[in-house]
Amino acid sequence: MILELAITLVKIFFIIGVTVAFFAPILTWVERKQSAIMQDRVGANRADILGFTALGLFHAIADALKMFTKEDFIPQGANKILHTLSPIVAVVPAILTFAVIPFGGQYELWGESVNLVVSDLDVGLLFVFAIASLATYGYVIAGWASNNNWSLLGSMRTASQMISYEVTMGLTIIGVLMVYGTMKLTEIGAAQEDFLNWGFFLQPLGFFMFLAASIAENKRVPFDAPEAESELVAGYFTEYSGLKFGMFLMAEFIEMVTIGAIVTILFFGAWHIPFLPTATLLSWFDFLGTSGANLVVMFINVAVFFAKVVFFIWFQMTIRWTLPRFRYDQIMKLGWKILLPLSLANILVTGLVILAVH
């Protein structure tokens, strides 16, 4: 009992530490540096500690210090309670989704079965989407409580965009569910041990539509109409400063990690290496004993999983710094007229193929 509790606590600390304490600050640096390098610039390189700049990595610390020390401003006529509540409502679901995301398989360590997921829910995938769509409330409340026209416009756009793309997203994953026959994220991951069984090969159209819809859900360029800085100042977080503003940013970056993780699990073989089944990997480390081999394989799998996540974060960043922003009507047209019929057709074709195969 105590051991189980300890294992769960370690897993929680690991996943929260990786996402909130590692990815969220690092991604602020990555975004600046990658955009700079893509555009033949130098990027952040001035913040230093005792003369060491470390390629500008200390800018993350400088940002955090700046956010902590800034004035926490609430505009006149704003609803104080909702204004304070909305960043929390935005950031908590983003962190909460990691409760069901598996970052490794199941391992036998010294008689103890370790499942590398905090909570192995039967409806894991549904839980992710249920929680992630709760974040919409945070953005809508933020615009409503700010007593600012830009904010309200931004939050209205957020609401319409997120509702439109949630439909596509939900219909896209139905294809994946039909193929793997389960909603458990751990089982979907485990089913992709064979390279040709990866979701990308079984659901290629689904992958692209899911990626587009999830980037739209995250409200990043090219779908950043809700916070379009050239039209709406900063959209729904115009009136936010200090750590509340930082929480909105953090929610965005954590959602990027979530998208990377979900795409990896659903479409890119989760923690598996192509053409290298876990049994082969285990046999390489047989000389360490069963538990030792399991431990080594566990570390390899976690590393592979996060390498894939990092790749998809890089991919999202590349998209973000390549494409211009869509007009609002183009976003709606893409969502309702193109992606929605395509996802329905995808379900139909998937069903027919499954019927034909069986």
Closer by beta carbon to another protein, 42 or else 345: 42
Q: How far is the CB of 37 from another protein (least distance, A)?
A: 5
With b meaning 16 or more CB within 10 Å and e meaning fewer, what string describes 64-96? eeebeeeeeebbeebeeeebebbbebbbebbbb
Closer by beta carbon to another protein, 32 or else 272: 32
Q: How far is the CB of 321 from another protein (least distance, A)?
A: 6
* CB within 8 Å of 181: residues ≥ 6 apart: none
Beta strands in the chain (DSSP E): 106-109, 112-115
Structure tokens at 42: 């130098």
Q: How far is the CB of 36 from another protein (least distance, A)?
A: 8
Q: How far is the CB of 38 from another protein (least distance, A)?
A: 5
Q: How far is the CB of 199 from another protein (least distance, A)?
A: 20
Closer by beta carbon to another protein, 130 or else 307: 307
Closer by beta carbon to another protein, 6 or else 323: 323
CA angle 114, 120, 123 (to 5 degrees): 160
CA angle 189, 21, 82 (to 5 degrees): 100
Closer by beta carbon to another protein, 85 or else 319: 319
Q: How far is the CB of 206 from another protein (least distance, A)?
A: 16
With b meaning 16 or more CB within 10 Å and e meaning fewer, what string describes 127-144? bbbebbbbbbebbbbbbb
Contacts with another protein by CB under 8 A lie at 34, 37-42, 318-319, 321-323
* CB within 8 Å of 37: residues ≥ 6 apart: 43
CA angle 96, 309, 182 (to 5 degrees): 65
Closer by beta carbon to another protein, 215 or else 309: 215
